[in-house]
Amino acid sequence: MASDKTKQARTQVAAKAKGSKVTKTTETMAESEKPGGRGLSPFEEMDVLFDRLSRGLMSRMGLPALGQTGWPFQAHAPKVDVIDRDNEVLVRAELPGMAKDDLEISLTDQTVTIRGETHKESGEEHGDYFRREITSGSFQRTLALPAEVMGDVAKATFHDGVLELTLPKVAKTNRRKVKID
């Protein structure tokens, strides 16, 4: 069992985003992030676990997380921010060069999936490429949300290459004790 100093050293206070609450995170998984803890499909659970593993291990080695590297299997995955506010979850995705007609968003109560496709410029290039970094193709990114949301009243805006999703949270139900007669 870890000592109190070790537990304190592992605990970090997450940065406070405007309008969001301060949350504590530890290296151990929260109950809601454990496999099977949120009602996610096995593939969604794998995605959550892989993201968590990538962030933890790569940051300890001073490297960017896998989704930030431009490696082939993540080449088109957008960078995202997920902000947990009091009554809503805000998701922002960087999608430079995309048109809103090339995007598709789907929601469940606990996940959001962003799909998109970039198209090659039509026309023939003359000469040999010295460097070629502009890519085209499709991407899909599924994110676990920090709370259950109401997808039927979600709002999406797209401006200057930034997709912003405002997802109202499901109202919390208060737990009551029932007296046994």
pLDDT tens for each residue of 9-27: 333 333 333 344 433 333 3
Instruction: Give the per-residue pLDDT at 121.
Output: 66
**Cβ neighbours around 53 below 10 Å, total:** 12
Mean pLDDT over the full length of the chain: 73
Q: Which residue has the higher pLDDT, 42 or 25?
A: 42
Average pLDDT over residues 149-166: 95
Looking at 1.10.540.10, 2.70.150.10, 3.40.50.1820, 2.60.40.790, the CATH number of the domain 11-168 comes to 2.60.40.790
State the average pLDDT over residues 86-97: 94
In the predicted structure, residue 112 carries a pLDDT above the cut 70: yes
DSSP 96-108: TT--GGGEEEEE-
| Domain ranges (residues) in the chain | 11-168
* pLDDT confidence of residue 109: 84
Residue 67 and residue 79: Cα distance in Å, rounded?
Answer: 8
Asked if 131 contacts 112 with a C-beta cutoff of 8 angstroms, the reply is no
- Across 105-133, average pLDDT: 81
Helix (H, G, I), strand (E, B) or coil at 22: coil
* Per-residue model confidence (pLDDT) at position 80: 95
